[in-house]
Amino acid sequence: MIASLKEAVNFGGVVAFTGAGVSAESGIPTYRGTGGFWTKYDPDKYASIDYFEQDPSYYWRFFRDTRLDLLRHPKPNPAHLALAELETRGKLQAVITQNIDGLHQEAGSRKVIELHGSSRKFHCLECCRSYLLEEIEAELEKHLPPLCADCNGILRPDIVFFGEMLPPGAIEEAMDLASRASLLLVIGSSLVVYPAAQIPMAAKSCGARLAIINDEPTPADGLSDWVLMGKAGEILPQLL
């Protein structure tokens, strides 16, 4: 099975669609399943825009206690590195990711569409001044939520909370790339969060072949030309 998928990858026209599972081997927990963030933290409190607007300190405490350390020492794993290498070799056109950890870029991927934003960038809710991770680390030790150095406004991450729209143009660009792909590699996603989860179906209906690489079954397995069950960091390097 891996040999025929490798042949299809070699043909080119590949687009990757990734979720939290691609970063699991970098030590970042997934959202669902054993040990997932949402088994310990209620996403209605920690990931919803309504709740953030009521009390941003919940999100910021979650960020400080669970995310900050992981983001400080980014470690792309063999799955991220294999995707970057496929792009360098001209086989992979883009990575469409639901992840906010920046690990694809850290691995060297250049064309990355972040459907759910980035947890390495922030801005002030009042004056819109932008901040990078390094700039808010010290502020987080002093204030929770962190405040803008210019106007004392509350800072927010440039991520998509539940209840918000995706970044302008992101889903359209992702759909366009997926619909023109020869092969969509779907890696490490439970495929339950929409609109992102409709991308594999859209690609398939436009003629792309689908390969699912995940360590558990997904709702798109029945549609797929290849289902490779296992760890992304072990499977993807075999496609090079």
User: CA 183 to CA 149: how far, in whole Å?
Assistant: 47
Least Å distance, CB 9 to ligand OAD, is: 17
Residue number, 209 or 231, with CB nearest to ligand OAD: 231
Q: Binder to ligand OAD among 19, 74, 78, 145 (CB under 6 A)? A: 19
If one asks whether residue 232 binds ligand OAD (CB under 6 A), the answer comes out as: yes
Smallest CA-to-CA distance from 238 within 25, 14, 86 is with 86
Residue number, 92 or 148, with CB nearest to ligand OAD: 92
Least Å distance, CB 190 to ligand OAD, is: 3
Subset of residues 20 to 39 that bind ligand OAD, contact rule: CB under 6 A: 20-21, 24-25, 30-33, 36
Beta bridge partners of 132: 121
Subset of residues 165 to 184 that bind ligand OAD, contact rule: CB under 6 A: none
If one asks whether residue 189 binds ligand OAD (CB under 6 A), the answer comes out as: yes
Q: Which amino acid is at 206?
A: C
Subset of residues 199 to 228 that bind ligand OAD, contact rule: CB under 6 A: 214-216
Least Å distance, CB 74 to ligand OAD, is: 17
If one asks whether residue 193 binds ligand OAD (CB under 6 A), the answer comes out as: yes
If one asks whether residue 119 binds ligand OAD (CB under 6 A), the answer comes out as: no
Q: Residue 193 in contact with residue 99, Cβ under 8 Å?
A: no
Active site residue: 73, 104, 116, 143, which one? 116
Q: Nearest residue to ligand OAD, using CB?
A: 21
Smallest CA-to-CA distance from 166 within 111, 208, 118 is with 118
Least Å distance, CB 221 to ligand OAD, is: 11
Subset of residues 53 to 92 that bind ligand OAD, contact rule: CB under 6 A: none
Clarify whether 116 is annotated catalytic. yes
By the criterion CB under 6 A, which residues form the site for ligand OAD?
19-21, 24-25, 30-33, 36, 43, 47, 98, 116, 160, 162, 188-190, 193, 214-216, 231-232
| Residue numbers annotated as active site | 116
